[in-house]
Structure 1
Amino acid sequence: MAVFSSKGVVVISVPILVLSVAAAAILLFLLLSATFSSSPTCSCPPPTSGIGQSQRISPSPEDLRWVKAQIDANGLHMHQNVLRKGINPRTRQQQLQDLLHSVLPLGLYVSPFRQAGLDDMTQSRFLLFVQVQDADNHTALPCPGELLVEEHHSNYGEPWAGGRDVFEFLAESIHLTPNSQVLEIGCGTLRVGLHFIRYLNPGHYHCLERDELSLMAALRYELPSQGLLSKRPLIVRGDDMHFSRFGDDAKYNLTYASAVFLHMPDKLVWIGLEQLVSRLKPLEGRIFVSHNIKFCSRLGGEECTKRLNDLGIEFLRKRIHDSLLFNHYEIWFEFRRFKA
């Protein structure tokens, strides 16, 4: 408490002094809180660990306007391509030949074995020797020279960049989430599959592919180069359209075949559809087939519809996808399982 001394001086006791300091500190805290709360909120988006279900996958109109503005701002125009210093003028085939000559004798296993003329027994012994001697060395894995010059990027008739375009269309068509299960029939060298693997949770992308070099490109080159080995996609070699090797528990939100059914006998396609029905989520799951469905149309409309219905599948619609990257459109046919 405050008291007056005999000389008229005010003397403040210690408890009163402590309480006064505490009250001043509380008042200052309240004033600062009010000041910060009235300031504008930060418009920066909060950090996220991944793409959520509500976030957009394909470019927005604002994205397209931005990239066009960047092209205009930099004065970029399409000129005739001219080879010049700083851009490799060699074709992939020329690069491959240079590689084969420069890496020998290591080329015995880095390049295709047929280039070295080794029989099967010698190949097996050599690879076993390399793996035993240097099991922890990444270079102990065989990598054909075709992959090292990225020849596999030109094997499928469309620019490699088209894979992103197909991914965006399919992902938004089914409202893809990281927890979705996806099966690709004929994933090739993962032109499309890489984007699904990157987006989905580990183990949620499956693929059936028959071509050996394509599988080598996927497993030995594309997955490591994109840092996606930890996503553990299940990629199986086969052309029999039997999916038991993917396990009994897989229920797919999306199964798609991009220009694959065109090259298969109709009978095999129908075998595949019969196998797929029980693995597709009822109502929610989708099958997408690109280009045409001659396996169906060759039967005639009524017969095709009846056969699909007998399997528990119904045709929903034909969809035309306008490509963002190229001056063309792609036709996709959408099916779903309607029976539980």
Structure 2
Amino acid sequence: MTSIKNLNECGQSVWYDNVDRGLLDSGEMERLIELGVSGVTSNPTIFERAITASTAYDVEIVTAVQKGKAIQEVYDSLTFADIGRVADLLMPVFEQTNHADGYVSIEVSPALSRDTEGTVQEGRRLFRSIDRPNVMIKVPATEEGIPAVRELIKDGINVNVTLIFSVEMYKKVVDAYLSGLESRLSGGLPLSVASVASFFVSRVDTKVDKLIREKGLDESLLGMAGVANAKMAYKRFEELFSDDRFEKLKANGAQVQRPLWASTGVKDPRYSELLYVSSLAGPHTVNTMPPKTLDAVLGTTEGFSSMVNSQVTEAEEVLTRLGDAGVSLSSVTDELLTEGLASFEKSFQTLLQNLKEKSESLRG
């Protein structure tokens, strides 16, 4: 049995947090899908690395510039092409799993993270332009993003709600999904729309571990906060998707909004590369893995078992101990959201600037 198959038997889907033209042209993306990868995610940082550090896009950039396209249009043509190709490769998975898996995600512009209506319009534009039923639109979990999620779900557009760090925000994300489905149901529309809630893990440990060391706290707490926080989110998932509100939607064809574990590559080399895989495997979950983590999964002989819904009391105790020691998890998660938005905005602006410079150089 392959390691991915093992995770699948635990109820977890393995997605790949990476997209670039080289993966597509070489056949590597197709090979990974054959090995069991059942979805793909992207973000502005991934596209920045892919486009600016490669010559694979140069011909298309030249062609677009010669046609007089603006830089934003050039960016769209490059990313839409990649996302469309990945969606086509994943279409058999999408069909075989009855639309449970086989999705590829693309993010709305980070500049819209505090703009509800702008996010809705951009989400509609991206979904319409790429024109594949297995595309998910990534919307950040900001206060302004939450109503946009509800509206896009109401429109029948698949949504990957990203940059979720806190359990409180996670509950708002679930409510937005359910509210969108309820609007569709009241309008007599089918509930065949999918969503995942991307809950970030390793970044929590990075920030909390730093505080533990700065405050001279018990070092047995190192590397514990990220998994504990995620397990609290999963506990809420089990509660929210087993109550009467969801049961009514489920009876009319709705699927659960699966928790997706993001940022699952370890940032501290002292931790096992599989820390956020082995600890968070479980039913109705997705783990989107960066290249190094996926390589570790494919290369391991370690068996995985469902752990996300076990040792929950211990996870609660970890968070209680941190709180008692003066580590405010809510402050940590607020900071992480702000930093995540700023990081994606910087990557997006850097990419557009590099595209402009590259197009001028190639045109010359």
TM-score class, shorter: under 0.3
The alignment's TM-score, normalised by the length of structure 2, stands at: 0.26
**Greater Rg over alpha carbons, structure:** 1
Structure whose residues are more often helix by fraction:
2
Which structure's relative contact order is higher, taking Cα pairs within 8 Å and 6+ residues apart?
2
**TM-score normalized by the length of structure 1:** 0.28
